[in-house]
Structure 1
Amino acid sequence: MLLTREPVVNRNRAITANRLIAHATTVADVVAGLQQFEEEWPRQHPVFLSLGKLVPTPDLLEWSLPDNLMVEIPAPTLAHPKTQALLPQLQTAGISMCLSWFAPEAVLPADIDWRFVIMDQRKLPQPSGSPSLSLAWGLKDIEGFDAAIDNGYDGAAGWFFLKSNTPSKGMSPSHAQIVRLLNLVRSNADIADIEAVLKQDVALSYKLLRHINSAGFGLRCEIQSFRHAVTILGYNNLNKWLTVLLVTASKDPSAPALMQASIARGRMMEHIGAPFFEKADHDNLFITGAFSLLPSLLGTSLGDLLGEMSLPESITDALINEEGAYAPFLKLARAAERFDASTLQQLADDLTIDPQKVNAALLSGLQFADSLQA
């Protein structure tokens, strides 16, 4: 069983749920796989569970379903006896349901409360006849999302926000300041020099300390100052905190969704790549994944951005040329963001990584990214 994922966003492009697509031969295989991940399960938002091409059956109830789970029921399966048997059991258990691949001619069972309805916007430009809040799927880009919202959709599922026709622009002063800090930290500059930059921007200092003290990093004491952070963490670990700060600095409406995708990618790469690299490389794996979406986040080219930074060649090789030791792990993290799992399966096989380890890394990355938005 392999998992891939998509975000679910509302009209304002804010993350409202995470969508997991399970790729397996049977529902029982899905259950057996998911039962292993109570610790990694992302609980900050509701989680839609799509069974891919499988018919939902009562086998799903062999799993102790998480409180924030929402089971997807594809409209074409509503006539199947096993799906009909599952629906009242889910409702009795208090498990929310989402109707997917809805079409206006679908015959819906009575007394089922659908929380959301996923519709292929390519076939249904308007959410006609939707029995609940409608989510558009199959959008190409942000412009397509805006059109879907104008046509009556309540939100969307998918990665449309990674694509836009917005022209490239230069780096903003706030982003440039963070890049300056990153370069100082990476060059082991004196703490006094770094503090001098932070004192020029009180808001930046506050944001940095807030991220360092967030639940996602699991520190046992509260960091009170940058000097304290250096003492507790050291310069190498601060690279990760500043990376998080850079990818969360955008004011674009899509920034929260992009931020989640960036940090989840980075954490997944760090998690899945750990057995393959020395500990010193782990933060670089995280940075590679997080920075892979900087062009979308900051609205400027990756080449221009990396030209401003003093990054190791291993990171720039992966990001610019898709080459080097980190590149296969970046490709793996990107493949986990597709509805189809065939590429993910091939990449995992090439790296001889067990599918359940890929799933654990995906869920861990998502959990970590969501914890920073709490």
Structure 2
Amino acid sequence: MGIITTRQPIFDRKQEVVGYEVCCAIRSDRLFAFENEIGNTLLLIGLNRLTGGKRAFVPVMGEMLLNDDSLSLPELSIVIEILKCLDPVDILIDACAKLKSAGYTLALGDFVIRKNLSSLFDLADIIKIDIAGLTIEEERALIDNRPNGSIKFLAARVETMEQFEDSFKAGFDLFQGYFFSEPIVVSGREIPGYKLNHLRVLNEVNRKDIEFGDLDKIIRQDVTLSYKLLNFINSAFFGLRYNVSSIRHALDLLGEREIKRWASLVILCDIGKDKPLELLAASLVRANLCEAFAPQVGLEAKSSELFLMGLFSLVDILVGRTMKDIMDEMPLATDIKSALCGEDNKFRKLLNLVLHYERGDFESFLRYASEMDINLGTVTDHYLASVERAEEALQLYGPQKVSLGAFRGN
């Protein structure tokens, strides 16, 4: 027996992440089924490890609602999602009332509207609506008819920026889907100058033939990089007993491999400062996960390159150019560039494995895992460790995160 789990971001109207929907499945031999005892699962793996302190939106099945002992999760950190109606409905109303009295925030499915269950509106904090196939007029009609002004509406399956914009205009408060990672290509003139400058530095840092003297010069010419490098090397993370005041000394301590990774991460954080923070988080999780799987797929010697592949997997969205255009200018290994441009190779297979896992497409993930002989018993630990390392990196280099208190259901 084993568990695999992933998370899907939920955004507010500022495109800031306020929580994650938790997706879990349980493994028996090599078969998976969705996990009903999700409360015990989250307690087992550790809630904060998965959500980074943000709220967990937890889908709850009917059987779990009827079991008074099955929900033992901290109510202030949880949004209970009930997406299907129970029959008779009185059972559901009683269950929701108990959850509300226990302090939980409730997100109910659109069955509440379709069945006109007015008794549940008073208990709901959030109404979650699958917008796939709805017109903006239909979305607006749902919002305009909300019976309780304090209820928030969550648009699910928002996969494109057009859908996000329509749902935003319709009045939705929260959004779930991968619209934030849809590539939007803009003309060269529209790309901010600082992004083009950062790309040039990124190209220089990742040159194969670069020497420490060149790295020293590149970093010293960039005030932001210089400051962040010295701040990083003198942080408690290293625990040095002396102060490092020289860029060259910092480079000697870190080594070429680590300085390239560090510089790439810091530069991407600067490039993406006008984008949702989740893009950077997703890039880092992918990078860490690709690196973690390297030994299992016979690419341990390429682990650093696999890290860079994951890190750059969303660079087209951060910059606003096609991946091919960016890769044509980047001095990365051919395997990385080919994989990021969608060509089929061993690097791309690993990236596909990670992408399917990220999106909770466990069926496709299992197919790739079987082909690549991935040890399924290690997957959740690798994923949680990747999330934790991404959170730590963003605390060091990224913009301020949204705190847990930034969102309440009412």
What TM bracket, shorter-length normalisation?
0.7 to 0.9
Contact 2:39–2:72 (8 Å) recurs in 1: no
CA contact (8 A) 1:117 1:130 kept: no
Task: Supply the distance in 2 between the matched residues of 1:248 and 1:20 (Cα, whole angstroms).
Answer: 26
Secondary structure at 1:104's aligned position in 2?
helix
Deviation at 1:214?
A: 8.2
Q: Give the 3-state SS of the residue equivalent to 2:171 in structure 1.
A: coil
SS in 2 for 1:248: helix
Equivalent pair of 2:5/2:380 in contact (CA under 8 Å): yes
CA distance in structure 2 between the aligned counterparts of 1:139 and 1:7, rounded to whole angstroms: 11
Equivalent-residue separation in structure 2 for 1:270 and 1:85 (angstroms): 48
- Note the C-alpha offset of 1:54: 6.9
Q: Could you tell me which residue of structure 2 aligns to residue 138 of structure 1?
A: 157
Query: Is 2:176 aligned against 1:157?
Result: yes
Partners of 1:269 and 1:289 within 8 A in 2: yes
CA distance 1:349–1:30, change in 2 (3 Å): farther
Q: Say which is worse superposed, 105-114 or 196-205, in terms of deviation.
A: 105-114
Match of 2:205 among 166, 177, 182: 182
Aligned twin of 2:130: 120
Instruction: Within 5 Å, give how 1:129-278 maps onto structure 2.
Output: 129=146, 132-169=151-188, 172-183=195-206, 186-191=208-213, 193-207=214-228, 219-221=238-240, 226-250=247-271, 253-277=274-298
2:59 counterpart letter in structure 1: S
What's the counterpart of residue 18 of structure 1?
20
* Contact map agreement 1:267 1:289 (CA 8 A) in 2: yes
Alpha-carbon separation, structure 2, partners of 1:187 and 1:254: 32
Shift in CA distance, 155/229, structure 1 to aligned 2, threshold 3 Å: farther
Q: Could you tell me which amino acid in structure 2 is paired with residue 297 of structure 1?
A: L
CA distance in 2 between counterparts of 1:206 and 1:59 reads 55
RMSD (CA atoms): 3.5
Matched, 1:282 2:303: yes
Quote the Cα distance in structure 1 between the aligned partners of 2:43 and 2:122: 26
The change in CA–CA distance for 1:205 and 1:327 in structure 2 (over 3 A counts) is: same
The separation in 2 between residues aligned to 1:49 and 1:243, in whole angstroms, is 35
Cα 1:345–1:206 shift into 2, 3 Å: same
Per the alignment, residue 57 of structure 1 pairs with: 65
In structure 1, distance between residues paired with 2:71 and 2:336: 40
- Give the corresponding residue for 1:3: 5
CA contact (8 A) 1:102 1:118 kept: no
One-letter amino acid of the counterpart of residue 72, structure 1 = E
Kept in 2, the 8 Å contact 1:49–1:70? The answer is yes
Query: Partner residue of 1:323?
Result: 344
Alignment match of 1:336 (pick from 348, 357, 370): 357
With the length of structure 1 as denominator, give the TM-score of the two structures.
0.82
Structure 1 position 45, deviation (Å): 1.8
Closer, same or farther in 2 for the Cα pair 1:100/1:225, shift >3 Å? Answer: farther
Structure 1 residue runs of 5 or longer lacking an equivalent are: none
1:122-147 per-position Cα deviation (integer Å, ceiling 9, x unaligned): 34522342752222122231122122
| Aligned mates of 1:210, 1:147 — CA distance in 2 | 43
Q: Deviations over 1:206-256 (max 9, x none)?
A: 3455677889xx544587654343233211112221232233223574342
SS at match of 1:249: helix
Judging by fraction of residues, say which structure has more helix. Answer: 2
Identical-residue share of aligned pairs (%):
22
Could you say which residue in structure 2 is the equivalent of 1:347? 368
TM-score (norm 2): 0.76
Q: Is the contact made by 2:184 and 2:317 (CA closer than 8 Å) also made in structure 1? A: no
Confirm whether residue 98 of structure 1 aligns to residue 121 of structure 2.
no
Task: Give the AA of the match of 1:129.
Answer: R
Across the two proteins, how many residue pairs are aligned to each other?
369
- The aligned amino acid for 1:148 is S
